[in-house]
Amino acid sequence: MRLLLDTHALLWWLADDDRLGPRPRDLIEDPGNDVLVSVVSLWEIVVKQRVGKLEADIEEIVEAVGREGFACLDISTAHLLTLAGLPMHHRDPFDHLLIAQALAEDVTFLSNDRNAARCQVRLVTCADPPPPSAQG
């Protein structure tokens, strides 16, 4: 499976935050899955840090993304063409572009964005429990 982490999912993973549930953790940890981090998320982190909405060190985050073995996803024209066709369910440009990337790349989006499912993207929410067969 190929997973694209939403910005909050990335930050929660790196901080070992409990808001990231068991199933998303298992998916990220699974060596058979490819985990993608978009440059959009890195850009969002920098913007929010600069305006005082987030305490973060982008250098540390970029290094951690590399250490985790996550692949960095750049923005392509295909992503922008997909973005142009998305409905405007909310006004967050970062979320819209991440959803467009997930659709264009045909990957599963790991996010708590409640509007993402309205865009027909494959979605795993950050709070998803493990499947019943994996529960003890």
Residue 136: Cβ within 10 Å count: 3
- Domain, as residue range, for 16: 2-127
Judge whether 132 lies within some domain.
no
121 within a domain of the structure (yes/no):
yes
Query: Please, what is the average pLDDT of the chain?
Result: 93
Residue 87 within any structural domain of the chain:
yes
Tell me, yes or no, whether 122 lies in a domain.
Answer: yes
pLDDT tier at 130, thresholds 50, 70, 90? low
pLDDT in tens, 10-24: 999 999 999 999 999
pTM of the model: 0.92
- pLDDT number for residue 80: 97
* Residue 77 placed within a domain: yes
Listing DSSP states for 35-47 in one string gives: EEEEHHHHHHHHH
Residue 52: CATH number of its domain: 3.40.50.1010
Angle between helices 7-14 and 58-68 (to 10 degrees): 80
Q: pLDDT tens digits, residue range 11-66?
A: 999 999 999 999 999 999 999 999 999 999 999 999 999 999 999 999 999 999 99
Domain count, the chain: 1
Q: For residues 97 and 46, what is the distance between their CA atoms, to the nearest angstrom?
A: 16
Name the band, by pLDDT with cuts 50, 70 and 90, for residue 135.
Answer: very low
Say if 134 falls within a structural domain.
Answer: no
Would residue 48 count as lying in a domain? yes
Q: What was the pLDDT predicted at 132?
A: 63
Give the bridge partners for 4, in sequence order.
36, 109
In a domain, 136, yes or no: no
